[in-house]
């Protein structure tokens, strides 16, 4: 029997953070495409849009008026998915029909007063303010007695369901730890118990030695396409100095994070020369008072685009019913992202 080659033979890769497998089919990349193509997002050039509910001084759907902010701005989500109200009694039938009440807080985080910039186009000093905002919000919400987990995220682009091109993210803080961080918590704790070191610290050391999946790096942070990536151009951002939450980041780590975010998102925008759609977010150690040994802070970027600005990957069929599948191996995606300029295409002459 011939031994299999990761770059041309179908295989499965394990995500050690979730315990789930992904099917990789590298031989399939020449498949013709006659399916759906997406509309290109309109190129927003207005630095202020009087109809935008996130621009400074504008009125939002619920009637509240945004402050005339100059840097970042936070408000309670007018259509919050979670409420801080405690309810009496347990809505919990044992067995097959089970429900439990959950409290939480949802806020919208405006990254910049400028309506027309993406993170990639913002100056590093302005991105640093976004990092500070994420850390402040995490600390403030984690201090609430009924909050057990703080999820910071950004949905970028209409393709990912973002309602507005104005640069913004959200924070949803929940009483209980949601599914994805709960899986990561269990796997990281089990690894730590077995090896005495954080799973992601060991993983980062392997990736730095191998180098083939690194996209870009600085003294504090590394952006890479994880070995087990599902989305075509999925990446993770990992700190070189182990920390578990955003508020723990010191000045050097925050400056470094702003730099790596600008460089990574610029590469993304340059890939197809469009404001690149993605969902990104931070996985931080839960704040429900339990131990969570071995937890390492990290960000995931999940972009939907596959082969051009208008052809996206669909998670359907086998992926919905079996397990996720990808064509381009993570190494090839990293090489592609590495080959791109760190000067934004809108700034190139």
Among 38, 49, 140, 335, binds Zn ion (CB under 5 A): 49
Number of residues that bind Zn ion (CB under 5 A): 6
223-239 exposure pattern, b = at least 16 Cβ within 10 A, e = fewer: bbbbbbbbbbbbbbbbb
- Decide: residue 39, CB within 10 A, 0-12 exposed, 13-18 middle, 19+ buried: exposed
Q: In the numeric block, which tokens belong to residue 15?
A: 């995500």
Q: Taking contact as CB under 5 A, which single stretch among the options 50-58, 79-87, 100-108, 227-235 is the one that binds Zn ion?
A: 50-58
Site for Zn ion in 102-121 (CB under 5 A): 115
Residues ≥6 apart with Cβ < 8 Å to 173: 82, 104, 105, 106, 141, 142, 144, 147, 149, 150, 151
- Given the complex with ligand H2U, which of 167 and 286 has the nearer CB atom? 167
Residues ≥6 apart with Cβ < 8 Å to 308: 37, 272
- As measured in angstroms, the least distance from the Cβ of 136 to ligand H2U is 19
Q: What are phi and psi of 282, to 5 degrees?
A: -100, 135
- Given the complex with Zn ion, which of 55 and 237 has the nearer CB atom? 55
Asked whether position 288 contacts Zn ion by CB under 5 A, the answer is: no
Instruction: Fill in the per-residue mask, 184 to 223: x = in contact with Zn ion (CB under 5 A), - = not in contact.
Output: ----------------------------------------
Interaction partner, residue 115 (Zn ion, ligand H2U, none; CB < 5-8 Å by kind): Zn ion
Q: Which stretches of the chain bind ligand H2U, using CB under 6 A?
A: 53, 60-61, 77-79, 108, 155, 162-164, 170
- Given the complex with ligand H2U, which of 8 and 78 has the nearer CB atom? 78
Helix H or strand E encompassing 272: helix 251-272
Taking CB atoms, the residue at the shortest distance from Zn ion is 52
Interaction partner, residue 166 (ligand H2U, Zn ion, none; CB < 5-8 Å by kind): Zn ion
Interaction partner, residue 155 (ligand H2U, Zn ion, none; CB < 5-8 Å by kind): ligand H2U
81-113 exposure pattern, b = at least 16 Cβ within 10 A, e = fewer: eeeeeeeeeeeeeeeeeeeeeebbbbbbbbbbb
Active-site annotation holds for 168: yes
- As measured in angstroms, the least distance from the Cβ of 59 to ligand H2U is 8
**Among 166, 168, 298, 300, which one carries the catalytic annotation?**
168
Q: Taking contact as CB under 5 A, which single stretch among the options 43-51, 259-267, 296-304, 339-347 is the one that binds Zn ion?
A: 43-51
Rg (CA), the chain: 21
3-class secondary structure, 132: helix
Q: How far apart are CA 346 and CA 334, in angstroms?
A: 23
Active site residues: 168
The binding site for Zn ion (CB under 5 A) comprises 49, 52, 54-55, 115, 166
């Amino acid at each position: 029997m011939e031994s299999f080659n990761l770059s041309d033979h179908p295989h499965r890769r394990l995500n050690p953070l979730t315990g789930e497998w992904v099917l990789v089919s590298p031989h399939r990349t020449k498949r013709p495409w006659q399916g759906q193509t997406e509309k290109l997002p309109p190129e927003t050039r207005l630095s202020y849009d009087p109809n935008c509910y996130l621009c400074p001084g504008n009125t939002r759907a619920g009637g509240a008026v945004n402050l005339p902010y100059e840097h970042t701005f936070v408000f309670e989500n007018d259509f919050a998915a979670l409420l801080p109200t405690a309810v009496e009694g347990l809505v919990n039938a044992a067995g097959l029909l089970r429900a439990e009440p959950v409290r939480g807080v949802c806020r919208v985080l405006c990254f910049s007063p400028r309506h027309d910039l993406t993170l990639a186009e913002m100056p590093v000093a302005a991105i640093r303010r976004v990092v500070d905002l994420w850390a402040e919000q995490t600390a403030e919400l984690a201090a609430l007695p009924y909050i057990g987990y703080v999820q910071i995220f950004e949905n970028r682009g209409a393709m990912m369901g973002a309602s507005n091109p104005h640069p913004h993210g959200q924070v949803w803080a929940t009483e209980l730890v949601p599914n994805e961080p709960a899986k990561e918590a269990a796997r990281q704790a089990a690894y730590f118990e077995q090896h005495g070191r954080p799973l992601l610290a060991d993983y980062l050391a392997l990736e730095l030695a191998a180098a083939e999946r690194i996209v870009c790096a600085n003294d504090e942070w590394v952006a890479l396409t994880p070995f087990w990536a599902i989305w075509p151009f999925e990446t993770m951002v990992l700190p070189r100095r182990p920390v578990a939450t955003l508020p723990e980041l010191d000045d050097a780590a925050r400056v470094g994070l702003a730099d790596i975010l600008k460089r990574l998102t610029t590469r993304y925008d340059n890939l197809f020369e469009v404001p690149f759609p993605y969902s990104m977010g931070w996985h931080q150690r839960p704040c429900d008072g339990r131990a969570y040994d071995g937890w390492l802070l990290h960000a995931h970027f999940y972009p939907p685009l596959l082969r051009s600005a208008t052809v996206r990957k669909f998670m359907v069929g086998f992926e919905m019913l079996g397990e996720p599948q990808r064509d381009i191996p993570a190494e090839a995606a990293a090489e592609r992202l590495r080959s791109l300029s760190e000067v934004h295409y809108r700034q190139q002459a």
